[in-house]
Amino acid sequence: MYLAGAILVIDKEKQKDLRQFGTFVTIPFVLGGAPVVGWFIGSLLDKIGDTSPFFMYVFIVLGFVAGVREVYRIIRRFGDGA
């Protein structure tokens, strides 16, 4: 890593490591955010359809499934060292 003019130049290996680190930092947000979005959508549908907790539970579970699926995709993409 060196400074060339006003541009910071990072070698390829360091750049790959930083990209992986940034991607792995997003995992907790993906796991936490997807169920929250599911809760919000489910609550909204429950208010519209007057089906109190039914859609909320369904969409929270779908949110967890979507979050785990996305984490699996992230780990599969970067787990092989690519």
pTM score of the predicted model: 0.75
Tell me, yes or no, whether 56 lies in a domain: yes
pLDDT for 68: 96
The pLDDT assigned to 56 comes to 96
Total domains in the chain come to: 1
**Domain for residue 2, yes or no?**
no
Is residue 44 in a domain?
yes
Q: Identify the domain containing residue 80 by its residue range.
A: 29-82
Whether 11 is covered by a domain: the verdict is no
pLDDT at residue 7, rounded to an integer: 61
| Alpha-helical segments (H) within 12-53 | 12-25, 27-49
pLDDT, one tens digit for every residue, the chain (82 residues): 555 555 666 777 888 888 888 888 999 999 999 999 999 999 999 999 999 899 999 999 999 999 999 999 988 887 765 5
Residue 5 belongs to some domain of the structure: no
Q: What is the pLDDT of residue 55?
A: 95
